[in-house]
Amino acid sequence: MPIDADRFRLAMGHLVAGVSVVAARAAEGRVLGMTASAVASLSLEPPMLLVCVDRSAEIHDTLVSAPLFSLNILAAGQRELALRFATRGEQHFDGLDVGISPGGLPRIRGALAHFECRRGSVYDGGDHSIVTGTVEWAATDDGAPLCYFRSGYPELAQ
């Protein structure tokens, strides 16, 4: 018998995760974003990654149907952006000074890495969908990562 969700969340909170903002353009044109820590490299040939998104998330239907999505890996010092995109009703880019990827999606200034992906397959993952994407463009910058651990954003010792 599986453990309950609260115990699972508590135990998984001990896994240090990088913090990213995934973005996709809705059919009506507005770009939505979401803070994501369930992100992973999937394949080198072709270069692919995956993002897990809660089925109840505002961006869910957009992300699973948009042809392109972007992923910005946040840097230390971008905690406020992580909190903004984790807050319902604030998961948009209105008023933010962002660059634009080749496919027209947000490139968060100061982020450590930027990816633009062509959406691939979407898989069932319980209360989440697992969205795969083939990386069509990427760029990197220097800096320390923003990390998530035990419901907080600790700094890494360097």
Instruction: Answer whether residue 82 is part of any domain.
Output: yes
Instruction: Answer whether residue 134 is part of any domain.
Output: yes
> Consecutive sets of 10 residues in the chain, 158 residues long: mean pLDDT of each?
88 86 94 95 97 96 97 96 93 92 96 98 96 98 91 75
| Cα separation, 50 vs 42, whole angstroms | 6
Alpha helical stretches, state H, 13-145: 60-65, 79-85
Instruction: Answer whether residue 1 is part of any domain.
Output: no
Instruction: Answer whether residue 12 is part of any domain.
Output: no
Instruction: Answer whether residue 10 is part of any domain.
Output: no
Instruction: Answer whether residue 6 is part of any domain.
Output: no
> Which domain does 53 fall in, by range?
18-144
Domain count, the chain: 1
| CATH code: domain of residue 104 | 2.30.110.10
**pLDDT at residue number 13:** 83
Paired tokens of 82: 């992580």
Instruction: Answer whether residue 122 is part of any domain.
Output: yes
Instruction: Answer whether residue 41 is part of any domain.
Output: yes
